[in-house]
Structure 1
Amino acid sequence: MATQISSSFFWKRTRMLMPRKNIVQLLLRHGADVHVQTPQFPPALQGAASKGQNEIVELLLDNGADIDAHDQQYPTALQSAVADCNKQLVESLLDKGASINAQGGFLPPPVNIASANGNRSILKLFLNRYMNAQVQGEILARALLVAAFHGRRRMVEFLIQNGADLNQQVQSSGTFLLPSGEILITALQAAAGGGHKAIIKLLINSGADIGASDHRSPTPLQAAVTGGHKDAIQLLLDNGAAVDDHNQHCPTAIQRAIINGDRRTVELLLCRGADANLQVGQLAPPLYIAIAMGHRGIVQLLLDHDTYVDTQCQGYGTALMRRCIDIILLSMPNQYSRRLDALMLESRRDRMAGSNFAN
């Protein structure tokens, strides 16, 4: 027993004193499998990369470790190196052929990580290793989208100086979503969705299309309204953003503001000429939405701006308004429900009086 204790103590002391690289070399000489993975621990390569053990990473690669190995739980060695801002290891992995597109675990692709962290030196490594114009363009566009979303102004400036296409649509970006679940595919959309006023201004002054979108994504103005970023909304409107711009799948800015219950933004959009009667896609007109969601202040605001109470609404009809009111009446205290009913009746009476006077 005494011998066993002494032996155990000896090996513990040896492991403490022996450099880690030597231990790995010893294990490899005795047949250790570099690809083994357990539920509790990552493969050796990913583990070494995540701890910044550059020499051990080199040793494992020299002994057959898969440089791009990853799964749903663990990222690639390159992802880990970029996330740790380990430029030396990033350079070494690129020299050995690591892919900048391989992605595992919960980390985004390496380009996205470098851009989000504002790490220009690592991004330069990627650009210098991929001299093909198309590949470089894709790297720049993706990095620009990420930097704009995270508010990395210096990175945005660096990318613009290096020729990034401000209006290129990035279909596989990470993916960046608004709270509504909509995908952001241009840098200006991303900056607006994040509410980064300085970057919005920089992109617009550099030539970004203020109305850029596609059939699946919002315009920058719609993205800013969805995020509730009032300064960004004001800036975009001041630079000519179309207040009623929409497509088949994307609601207008004012519909979004009403869904958010954002009375100040609704008022701003109305002052800028937003059509309060416009029905888009699967959503009802603004007044219907405001009533259905119980935003009494916005209902009053819309009525004051000559919103048509009895206009037939495609797919909904005026009966929906009555149904919406019924739903609200069930959930509101009596004094509020009576006030809303009176508000609607008063609006109808005023319109009838105005019509009779005109005749």
Structure 2
Amino acid sequence: MGNYKSRPTLSCADELKKKISESYSFFRSKAIEDLRPRDSEWSELQLACSHCDTAKVQELLTEENIDERTDTGLTILHIACISGGEALSISGDLDCVQALLEDDVDVNQPGNSDLTALHIAALCGHAEITSYLLEKGANNSAGDAVKFSPLHIACNFGHDKVAEILLRHNVDVNISGGVGDRPLHLACAKGFLRITQLLLEGNSQRKADVNVKDDEGHRPIHFCCKSGHLGILQYLLEENADPHVVNIYGDTPLHLACYNNKLEIVRQLVTRTGTESLVKENIFSETPLHCACTCGKSLELIKLILDQPSVNINYQGKDKHTALHSACFHGHIRVVQFLLENGADMNLVASVSDQNGGSEKREEQTALMWAYEKGHDMIVTLLKHHKRPQDESACGDYSQPGGDGSYVSVPSPMGKLRSMTKEKIDVLQLRAMLPHHFQMQLSEIEFQEPIGSGSFGKVYRGKCRGKMVAIKQYRANSFGTKSDVEMFCREVAILSKLNSPYVISFVGACIDDPSQFAIVTEYVSGGALYSLLHEQKRLIDIQSKLVMAIDVAMGMDYLHNLPQPIIHRDLNSHNILLTETGHAVVADFGESRFLRSAEDNMTKQPGNLRWMAPEIFTQCTKYSIKADVFSYSLCLWELLAGELPFAHLKPAAAAAEMAYHSTRPPIAVTFPKPIVSLLQRGWSANPEDRPDFKSILPVLEECKNSPTVLMLSVSGINNSFSLSASLPAVIRDHSAESDGRNTPPLAGHVTALRTQWEMEANRNSGDELRRRLPFPQLDKNGYVSDPLSTLRISILPSDAIRGRSQTPPS
């Protein structure tokens, strides 16, 4: 595949499987927690089911309450099944389940996340209830929200008795989950040997396929080798599992064992299955030796592989990188030294494509260059001074033959020199085009406390030329870090062209010394929208949300309609800053670039994955300003819902869900209809179907001025002046009363709000504060099921909303 350098440790399917496993474990503990009696919240019937009081259940059960469920989505049959779980050690539950089913409770009624009673019984490991539910017609093939059947769940949690009962009732032993994962995959990944044996023995209908594959081509043997379950590996091999089969990434079981440092698995595979896999490359041009050096945790594992006759320490993959390249890139100095001592050739070169500007030109790079690129200084030093036996006679200008010098002939890194030359040219061009009043010295800046950080360096609050500013200071290094220099030059060039009240105002930049690069912008005191929504958990009134949404849309419309349009490429709630009056500005142009033509080759996957447009995530280099519209739509949803998009997933998994499964965040019934339509068009999978910001703005303005919002505004204003008419109630504290209308407004300054909220929190004990906080109910995807809880009314007075200056910054 070329240009390997950093193999992803987890694939998208791995991320999803990990999240599913975590979710089920959480559900199990949460379900048990939910069974604690709640006299004020649960009905008598629900409480009777939770106490397994069969007589009381029979007395209370009627046609009217037979289908009732708790706020968390538990039906009365779910409650009875959980109450009998082994984790609670409560008896009498089977009688309760029998009583409910005899009174015609639907045995297949789904609850939260589409879990049926049979799923619950499998989750809790209750064999007797499982058997009875099946006798009463429970659907043993029903899928939950991730298409897991009860057999999947039994295999995931290791309940072999439940699995055995399900198999006796002729469940489909090869039933597929959401990403093609079968029960056998789960059992092998978790190391449940007894369940693995049951599945492969099968039932009267069918046996599990020992070589069945999921959507990424993983077989059961891949999972057991990756997890290190030796007993299961031995059993699978006895059942004729193919030990040399590959997944879609070209990984054999041996590759995965080496990537995950499973020494005994590797030993067993090499001993029992031969050396065929030892010379196979995956799509990242890696053999098992490369994989072991990428992992870098075990010299014993590397030695075991090198001891095999078919293994060459200097083997070069399709892109010509060696095991030494892999160890250097990942910074494993002990591995590098071991390889060098055992004959690794540091002069071999990898052939890596130069992806800058879409060029297909290939550059030859030694292992030293790979270590240098990643900043592994100790490895660079080791390579430069390593003395091999055949180099005894080598000497340089500053060493004499037979002396102490140990000169080694290392090829000059010409590719790196070319990059350095280009970076110097970039900086010279920047100095020539940047107006003089934007050029400043570091001595002009007074640094105060740090307020943020990133891969580039740190962001500080400070003072410069008599005003409060934010200083983005890059890491102190000389030329050589190509991406940092490019990003700095491009960001300064873009900021110097901007002049709008809706984007961050540029003050200047330090561009003389590459070790002191810094960008100075206005200081926006309200902080990031992300912080207010997800860290401070502020409740923002609906009109203020729309004001912010309009401000961001105005900023993006300005960027997209400049004479030379700018595509932001990293629009998210981290990069939307709020003023103390509740207005928003678009910030952070580190990933942005000028658009010269529609044919431009663009960088792959810039920006934050959680807000990334599908066409960018799928490695496309031809995308347009409509990618910003997609990101904006997710920000708009986030602002209205008060939740992080796909909060239950990691960023990469969230991006994969949107790109490959066309999944989008759920739209609440409380969202204004015009905005619902706007969201659906804005996050369309087809960029051409997305509106531009000129057509987005009228929709938002109409919503902001709609009778409904105005009515809510009047109601909010009537309450907001009980403290002081001069203090705008932009954002309300979470510790206020749940209806949000009987609490005086807080000061409009966001910093003051944060201080006052923290003081309030300190005055209350943790338990008391939790009781006062509105407890959100979650839907099957982990989102708040009552979005009204994020739309409390505390309105900014209209003169304050309009009071923001429209004068462009100087």
Question: Same fold, TM exceeding 0.5?
Answer: yes
Which residue of structure 1 lines up, in the alignment, with residue 486 of structure 2?
Answer: none
TM-aligned CA deviation for residue 40 of structure 1? 7.5
Which residue of structure 2 lines up, in the alignment, with residue 280 of structure 1?
Answer: 351
Which residue of structure 2 lines up, in the alignment, with residue 179 of structure 1?
Answer: none
2:367 aligned with 1:264: no
Shift in alpha-carbon separation, 1:256–1:126, aligned structure 2, 3 A: same
TM-aligned CA deviation for residue 142 of structure 1? 2.8
Letter in 1 for 2:282: D
TM-aligned CA deviation for residue 49 of structure 1? 1.1
Cα distance in 2 for partners of 1:9, 1:71 equals 26
Shift in alpha-carbon separation, 1:80–1:132, aligned structure 2, 3 A: closer
Which residue of structure 2 lines up, in the alignment, with residue 295 of structure 1?
Answer: 376
Which residue of structure 1 lines up, in the alignment, with residue 647 of structure 2?
Answer: none
2:172 to 78, 87, 99: 99
Which residue of structure 1 lines up, in the alignment, with residue 130 of structure 2?
Answer: 57
Which residue of structure 1 lines up, in the alignment, with residue 220 of structure 2?
Answer: 143
Letter in 2 for 1:212: K
Cα distance in 2 for partners of 1:261, 1:7 equals 61
2:100 aligned with 1:27: yes
Larger Rg: 2
**Alpha carbons 2:202, 2:208 under 8 Å: kept:** no
2:154 aligned with 1:88: no
Per-residue displacement from partner, 1:247-291 (whole Å, max 9, x unpaired)?
35x954223222222222223334433454412344862333322
**Alpha carbons 1:46, 1:74 under 8 Å: kept:** no
Letter in 1 for 2:373: A
2:325 aligned with 1:255: yes
TM-aligned CA deviation for residue 89 of structure 1? 2.1
2:307 aligned with 1:238: yes
Cα distance in 2 for partners of 1:7, 1:215 equals 58
Q: Secondary structure at the match of 1:265?
A: helix
Cα distance in 2 for partners of 1:307, 1:185 equals 33
TM-aligned CA deviation for residue 44 of structure 1? 0.9
Shift in alpha-carbon separation, 1:255–1:114, aligned structure 2, 3 A: same
Alignment of 1:219-230 (within 5 A): 219-229=287-297, 230=299
May I ask how many residue pairs the two structures share in their alignment? 310
TM-score normalised to structure 1 length = 0.71
Shift in alpha-carbon separation, 1:87–1:217, aligned structure 2, 3 A: farther
Letter in 1 for 2:135: D
User: Which range moves more in the overlay, 188-197 or 282-291?
Assistant: 282-291
Shift in alpha-carbon separation, 1:13–1:234, aligned structure 2, 3 A: closer
2:115 aligned with 1:42: yes
Which residue of structure 2 lines up, in the alignment, with residue 351 of structure 1?
Answer: none
Which residue of structure 1 lines up, in the alignment, with residue 286 of structure 2?
Answer: 218
**Alpha carbons 2:369, 2:413 under 8 Å: kept:** no
Letter in 2 for 1:288: M
Which residue of structure 2 lines up, in the alignment, with residue 326 of structure 1?
Answer: 479
TM-aligned CA deviation for residue 133 of structure 1? 10
1:199 to 256, 265, 269: 265
Cα distance in 2 for partners of 1:66, 1:255 equals 54
Cα distance in 2 for partners of 1:260, 1:99 equals 44
Q: Secondary structure at the match of 1:280?
A: strand
Larger proportion of strand: 2
TM-aligned CA deviation for residue 50 of structure 1? 1.0
Letter in 1 for 2:291: A
Q: Secondary structure at the match of 1:112?
A: helix
2:53 aligned with 1:14: yes
Shift in alpha-carbon separation, 1:231–1:256, aligned structure 2, 3 A: same
Cα distance in 1 for partners of 2:340, 2:420 equals 21
TM-score normalised to structure 2 length = 0.34
Which residue of structure 1 lines up, in the alignment, with residue 487 of structure 2?
Answer: none
Cα distance in 1 for partners of 2:170, 2:208 equals 19
2:185 to 112, 117, 120: 112
Cα distance in 1 for partners of 2:208, 2:280 equals 21
**Alpha carbons 1:191, 1:200 under 8 Å: kept:** yes
Cα distance in 2 for partners of 1:23, 1:325 equals 73
User: Which range moves more in the overlay, 72-81 or 199-208?
Assistant: 72-81
**Alpha carbons 2:200, 2:208 under 8 Å: kept:** no
Per-residue displacement from partner, 1:192-242 (whole Å, max 9, x unpaired)?
112122221221122142122333573211221221123222221222433
Larger proportion of helix: 1
Per-residue displacement from partner, 1:4-31 (whole Å, max 9, x unpaired)?
xx99999968338983233223322333
Letter in 1 for 2:333: R
Shift in alpha-carbon separation, 1:40–1:98, aligned structure 2, 3 A: closer
Letter in 2 for 1:66: N
TM-aligned CA deviation for residue 309 of structure 1? 0.9
**Alpha carbons 1:255, 1:289 under 8 Å: kept:** yes
Tell me the C-alpha RMSD between the 2 structures.
Answer: 3.9
**Alpha carbons 1:222, 1:256 under 8 Å: kept:** yes
User: Which range moves more in the overlay, 320-329 or 141-150?
Assistant: 320-329
Cα distance in 2 for partners of 1:246, 1:115 equals 31
Which residue of structure 2 lines up, in the alignment, with residue 68 of structure 1?
Answer: 141
Percent identical: 24
Cα distance in 1 for partners of 2:380, 2:47 equals 78
Gaps of 5+ in 2: 1-43, 57-90, 355-362, 386-407, 424-476, 482-512, 517-810
Cα distance in 1 for partners of 2:220, 2:177 equals 19
Shift in alpha-carbon separation, 1:129–1:213, aligned structure 2, 3 A: farther
Q: Secondary structure at the match of 1:135?
A: coil
Cα distance in 1 for partners of 2:173, 2:210 equals 12
Which residue of structure 2 lines up, in the alignment, with residue 3 of structure 1?
Answer: none
Which residue of structure 1 lines up, in the alignment, with residue 252 of structure 2?
Answer: 186
